[in-house]
């Protein structure tokens, strides 16, 4: 899906020097860009046969919600701490400096459900791993991970080994 790349804007030195930020706002602003991305994700999720979509705050919500609607599935969400009003579980993950956490409602996954976890971009894979762990603690089965972008110069494949992983475009150098 290399034609998707034309819709993704690369911003050097954001949010800090040395990091290239892959900006999907330009992709979702464009009807064709959004459609192409969702077509690719939909094809993958139909193949793996999920019965629930989990979207990660906040760009994972954009793709996750549209995908769930296309597939006639429910959407569950993983949010930053303190945002979800009912009983939650939480999982920490490592950032470059320190750690962060995500939360899910305890009743957002039913035992035995086949779940696809959705985000916009996989860098180290730490965010996705934290969400996969929460899904499993809630007795769901992670049947796949779907992302628009994979930064293949980072070792996310190792971190997420054992999970079925799909991304539509990759960047293989910083």
Chain residues binding ligand AMP by CB under 6 A are 19-22, 56, 59, 119-127, 156
**DSSP result, 28-90:** HHSHHHHHHHHHHHHHHHHHHT-SEEEEETTHHHHHHHHHHHHHT-EEEEEB-TT---S-EEE
Question: CB of residue 64 vs ligand AMP: minimum separation in angstroms?
Answer: 12
The two beta strands, 74-78 and 20-23, are unpaired
Q: Report the nearest approach of ligand AMP to the CB of residue 46 (Å).
A: 24
Looking at beta carbons only, is 7 or 22 nearer to ligand AMP?
A: 22
Q: Closest separation between CB of residue 43 and ligand AMP, Å? A: 22
**Nearer residue to ligand AMP within complex by CB, 33 or 125:** 125
Nearer CB in complex with ligand AMP: 23/141: 23
What values do phi and psi take at 4, rounded to 5? -70, -30
């Amino acid at each position: 899906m290399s034609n998707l790349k034309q819709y993704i804007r690369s911003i050097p030195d954001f949010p800090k020097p040395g990091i290239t930020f892959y900006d999907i706002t330009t992709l979702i602003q464009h009807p064709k860009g959004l459609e192409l991305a969702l077509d690719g994700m939909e094809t993958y999720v139909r193949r793996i046969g999920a019965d629930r979509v989990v979207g990660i705050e906040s760009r994972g919500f954009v793709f996750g919600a549209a995908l769930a609607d296309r597939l006639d599935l429910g959407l569950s969400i993983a949010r930053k701490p303190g945002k979800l009003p009912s009983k939650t579980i939480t999982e920490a993950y490592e950032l470059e400096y320190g750690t962060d956490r995500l939360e899910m409602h305890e009743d957002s996954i039913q035992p035995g459900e086949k779940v696809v976890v959705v985000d916009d971009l996989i860098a180290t894979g730490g965010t996705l791993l934290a969400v996969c762990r929460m899904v499993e603690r809630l007795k769901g089965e992670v049947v796949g991970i779907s992302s628009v972008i994979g930064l293949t110069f980072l070792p996310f494949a190792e971190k997420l080994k054992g999970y079925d992983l799909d991304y539509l475009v990759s960047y293989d150098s910083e």
